[in-house]
Amino acid sequence: MIRIITQTFLFVFCVAWLGYVGCAHTTPTPTATDAGVTYEAACANLAAIGCADGVAPNCASVLQQTVVERMTTTSVACLTSSKSLDEARACGGVRCQ
């Protein structure tokens, strides 16, 4: 009897945990950041200064994911105003090779 109760508890706990973890990744993502500067504008600027990261077809979505999930301390406004590859690298989140 105790074994059945224990197995039931573990099953319910696992289902609840999976539901919690699954919900943690469904938060809505913003389309703009840093005083209205868009991810697309940051990618366009990166491309204009010769950063290979800026010309990638998924640049905006990767940059957005990086910011939203706080993978780095990337500032989109900083990337948008960068005038050189070194300045872009200093903003974080891009390699610009």
Structure tokens at 16: 């609840």
Specify if 43 maps to a domain: yes
Specify if 9 maps to a domain: no
Burial readout 44-57 (b: 16 or more C-beta within 10 A, e: otherwise): ebbeebebebbeee
pLDDT of 42 higher than 50: yes
Specify if 22 maps to a domain: no
pLDDT of 24 higher than 50: no
Specify if 18 maps to a domain: no
pLDDT for 19 = 53
pLDDT for 3 = 61
In the predicted model, what is the mean pLDDT of residues 30-39? 64
Specify if 16 maps to a domain: no
Query: What is the percent of the chain where pLDDT is above 70?
Result: 63
Specify if 63 maps to a domain: yes
- pTM over 0.85? The answer is no
Write out the residue range of the structural domain in which residue 45 sits: 28-91
Specify if 23 maps to a domain: no
Q: Distance between CA 23 and CA 53 in Å, rounded?
A: 30
Q: How many residues does the chain have?
A: 97
Specify if 11 maps to a domain: no
Alpha-helical (H) ranges within the chain are 2-24, 39-48, 52-55, 59-68, 76-81, 85-91
pLDDT of 31 higher than 60: no
pLDDT of 88 higher than 90: yes
Count how many domains the chain has.
1
DSSP symbol at 83? -
